[in-house]
Amino acid sequence: MGTEAGDVDGRNHRPGRGSSASSRHLHGVGGASAAEVNLSGRRPFAEKLWSDLAETFFPDDPFRGFGALPPARRAWCAVKYFVPALDWVPRYGLDKFKFDLLAGITIASLAIPQGISYARLANLPPIIGLYSSFVPPLMYAVFGSSNNLAVGTVAAASLLLASIIETEVAADENPQLYLQLFYTAAFFTGLFQTALGVFRLGLIVDFLSRSTITGFMGGTAMIIILQQFKGLLGMKHFTTKTDIISVLHSTYHYRHEWKWQSAVLGICFLLFLLSSKHLRKKLPKLFWVSAIAPFMVVVIGGIFAFLVKGDEHGIPIVGNLNKGINPLSIAQLTFQSRHMKTAVKAGLLSGILALAEGIAVGRSLAMVKNEQIDGNKEMIAFGIMNIAGSFTSCYLTTGPFSKSAVNFHAGCKTPMSNVVMSVCIMLVLLFLAPLFKYTPLVALSSIIVVAMIGLVKVKEFCHLYKVDKFDFCICMVAFLGVVFFTMVAGLSASVGLSVVRALLYVARPATCKLGNIAGSETFRDVKQYPQAKSIPGILVLQLGSPIYFVNAGYLRERILRWVEDEDNLCKSVGHDLQYLVLDLGGVTSVDNSGVGMLLEVHKSLERRGITIALTNPRLEVTEKLVLSGYVRDILGDEWVFLTVKDAITACRYALQISRNKGEDEV
């Protein structure tokens, strides 16, 4: 009876914060670890602020080691950091140049047809596509940090720019203003990208999740493929809208313009290009066949159109291309208030998309070679090359996957391959540009279709559905939004859904009950490890997220529910819940609302006779809990422990003292 009375009344005799037994013996004497949590750590506000800013904007600590260098050496290292060419050029030699020469010539053969094709996709003069493959690669070779990236125009950004700018001015109604807005958009893209890199704001690009990019690129590829009906069928009129309904309606509405000659030639080109891609998959060493296949299509198509006078027999051609390198376009930048909104919107949206694609491509290729690239330096490089491009008759450029993959497989060693490509494009502009006037539009459409097929990643869609249904929904929102509405609508909706998901994770963080794995000192989630046993009279909860005003209310209710459920479970087996151990190892920070929540939980449990113990609080959390008075004045230093094991040992020791005292009184 004495034991039973002690068990039942133990709650009334549990040691409080002022109990001499608990205050003297919970750490060390009672069997817990002699090491105690450091509650005296303090950091000046300036130090804390700098630490937070450094972790946010300089997580890679790019200037580590600079402080020990002499001032002149430190300045030179800083210059080399922002101009990577100063680092690799002095060590450059013939052994690397022979690889870069081959890679540069190879990607130049791909840049010519892609440049013309994507310019046509954006409703720009084809020569603009060649201009955009001359100046930007030179700038990237100086400021870029990736050895594998090949610079050029991309289909998705080309179509996105066209879809935004055409809401302001139609390409066929005012081609000069239309072109000027493209230059201006490239200028704002460059400013935006450079600012992101300089101020270390690359985290903005992180809002474009992999699921969003996969869905957006897939939807864009579908729309681009459907839009090529105009070129494949030799049509003259077509819709400027991008949604699938408008594209299919326009294709059917202008069916009287269909040209069977273009259709037959297009099928031949498609079969040739698809065969070259299949050959590359079967024989990877013959990658160069698929790399030069688009150029061969342009050459063969041009010769054929010239011989049969294709423009007179249902095979429209590109038309005149003037010789000469890029003319200056600074004077053509337009900053009129009525057009500024469109130019800024086009520049920012396409700039974010271009950054996401370029940095993702650069990082993925660098990982294969066990190399590292700096995302913020890449932003600066992209920004500088787009600003320079806007001054020299170029529109937006980045690092497209197809061209970069060819550059990688061709064995490039440094950014010099971009210089080689640029020189090749310069020679084409100076001497060969007029020869491409006979390039059939159907050839360009075929090149675009084959390039876009690889962007519809059906296997990735299936993988997302299997692994994460929410990610699949994010992907499908982007895909269907682009296909059935607009590119901006699809991208915005998907990013919005991603942000909502992130907010849900913050507002509804996971908590779990921990149990002891038999035969060990390890505590794990009882749902994941059913064999983990609870400690009688002690509830151990793990909190795994920052405690902010957003989730403080939810965590309070969730902790109290855990306590109520555990208390009922304890009563069903004849004893009471007396201790709550909160594992704070995963709590990275806490704000005033979070501290208030812990205080409310403490008061609520104190009325029920339950003591709280904290384990492993981080420095940021400890500072707030001590400064607020929660630890010293409310909880007590003796109830803060290094590990869950220490807390359990101390609770058992205090519980035993309480029981012994109860037995003595009985």
The pLDDT-based confidence of 27 (bands split at 50, 70, 90) is low
Q: Of residues 294 and 47, which shows the higher confidence score?
A: 294
CATH classification of the domain holding 645: 3.30.750.24
Q: Of residues 554 and 236, which shows the higher confidence score?
A: 554
Question: pLDDT tens-digit profile of 468-518?
Answer: 999 999 999 999 999 999 888 898 999 999 989 988 888 888 889 999 998
Do 471 and 515 have their domain in common? no
The whole-number pLDDT of residue 662 equals: 58
Q: Of residues 39 and 446, which shows the higher confidence score?
A: 446
Checking if the pLDDT of 20 tops 60, the result is no
Residue 413: both structure tokens together: 């060693």
Checking if the pLDDT of 193 tops 90, the result is yes
What CA–CA distance (Å, rounded) separates 581 from 514?
10
Residue 634: both structure tokens together: 């409310």
Percent of the chain with pLDDT over 70: 90
Checking if the pLDDT of 40 tops 50, the result is yes
The whole-number pLDDT of residue 41 equals: 64
* Whether the Cβ atoms of residue 269 and residue 294 lie closer than 8 Å to each other: no
Checking if the pLDDT of 665 tops 70, the result is no
What CA–CA distance (Å, rounded) separates 344 from 164?
10
Question: pLDDT tens-digit profile of 69-91?
Answer: 788 888 888 888 889 999 899 99
Average pLDDT of span 140-149: 93
Residue 26: both structure tokens together: 């919970």
Q: Is residue 72 assigned to a domain?
A: no
Q: Of residues 311 and 398, which shows the higher confidence score?
A: 398
Do 542 and 397 have their domain in common? no
The tokens 């159109």 sit on which residue?
Answer: 305
Question: pLDDT tens-digit profile of 352-411?
Answer: 989 888 888 888 888 788 887 888 889 999 999 999 999 999 999 999 888 898 898 888
* Whether the Cβ atoms of residue 580 and residue 609 lie closer than 8 Å to each other: no
Do 468 and 527 have their domain in common? no
The whole-number pLDDT of residue 455 equals: 83
Helix axes 458-467, 469-484, angle to 10 degrees: 140
Angle, vertex CA 109, rays to CA 104 and CA 113, nearest 5 = 135
The whole-number pLDDT of residue 24 equals: 39
Do 466 and 442 have their domain in common? yes
At 154 the three-state DSSP class reads coil
Question: pLDDT tens-digit profile of 599-619?
Answer: 999 999 999 999 999 999 998
Q: How many domains does the chain have?
A: 2
Do 480 and 546 have their domain in common? no
- What is the 3-class SS of 333-361, one letter each residue? CCCCHHHHHHHHHHHHHHHHHHHHHHHHH
Length of the chain measured in residues? 666
Domain C-terminal end among 501, 529, 562: 501
What CA–CA distance (Å, rounded) separates 252 from 267?
19
The whole-number pLDDT of residue 325 equals: 93
Q: Is residue 74 assigned to a domain?
A: no
Do 547 and 496 have their domain in common? no
Q: Is residue 6 assigned to a domain?
A: no
The whole-number pLDDT of residue 363 equals: 82
The pLDDT-based confidence of 263 (bands split at 50, 70, 90) is very high
402 — alpha (psi -120 to 50), left (phi > 0) or beta?
Answer: alpha
Domain C-terminal end among 436, 471, 501: 501
Q: Is residue 522 assigned to a domain?
A: yes
Checking if the pLDDT of 14 tops 80, the result is no
Residue 147: both structure tokens together: 């050895």
Q: Is residue 38 assigned to a domain?
A: no
Do 285 and 373 have their domain in common? yes
The pLDDT-based confidence of 347 (bands split at 50, 70, 90) is very high
Average pLDDT of span 60-74: 71
Amino acid at 610: I
Average pLDDT of span 247-276: 92
The whole-number pLDDT of residue 12 equals: 40
What CA–CA distance (Å, rounded) separates 160 from 492?
13
Average pLDDT of span 432-437: 90
Range of the domain at 576: 509-664
The whole-number pLDDT of residue 542 equals: 95
pTM of the shown model: 0.79
Checking if the pLDDT of 190 tops 80, the result is yes
Q: Return the number of other C-beta atoms located less than 10 Å from residue 506's C-beta.
A: 12
234 — alpha (psi -120 to 50), left (phi > 0) or beta?
Answer: left
Find the farthest-apart pair of alpha carbons in the chain and give their distance in angstroms, rounded: 114
Q: Among 650, 663, 655, which Cα is nearest to 26's?
A: 650
Do 589 and 521 have their domain in common? yes
What CA–CA distance (Å, rounded) separates 604 from 502?
31
Checking if the pLDDT of 18 tops 70, the result is no
Domain C-terminal end among 478, 501, 524: 501
The whole-number pLDDT of residue 50 equals: 65
What CA–CA distance (Å, rounded) separates 16 from 13?
9
The whole-number pLDDT of residue 443 equals: 93
Q: Is residue 514 assigned to a domain?
A: yes
Checking if the pLDDT of 2 tops 50, the result is no
The overall average pLDDT reported for the chain is 86
Instruction: Give the N- to C-terminal CA distance of the chain in Å, as an integer.
Output: 9
Q: Is residue 656 assigned to a domain?
A: yes
The pLDDT-based confidence of 207 (bands split at 50, 70, 90) is confident
Percent of the chain with pLDDT over 90: 54
The pLDDT-based confidence of 16 (bands split at 50, 70, 90) is very low
What CA–CA distance (Å, rounded) separates 409 from 383?
26
Do 169 and 290 have their domain in common? yes
Do 152 and 224 have their domain in common? yes
The whole-number pLDDT of residue 53 equals: 65
C-alpha dihedral (221, 223, 229, 235), degrees to nearest 10 = -130
Amino acid at 286: L
Checking if the pLDDT of 143 tops 70, the result is yes
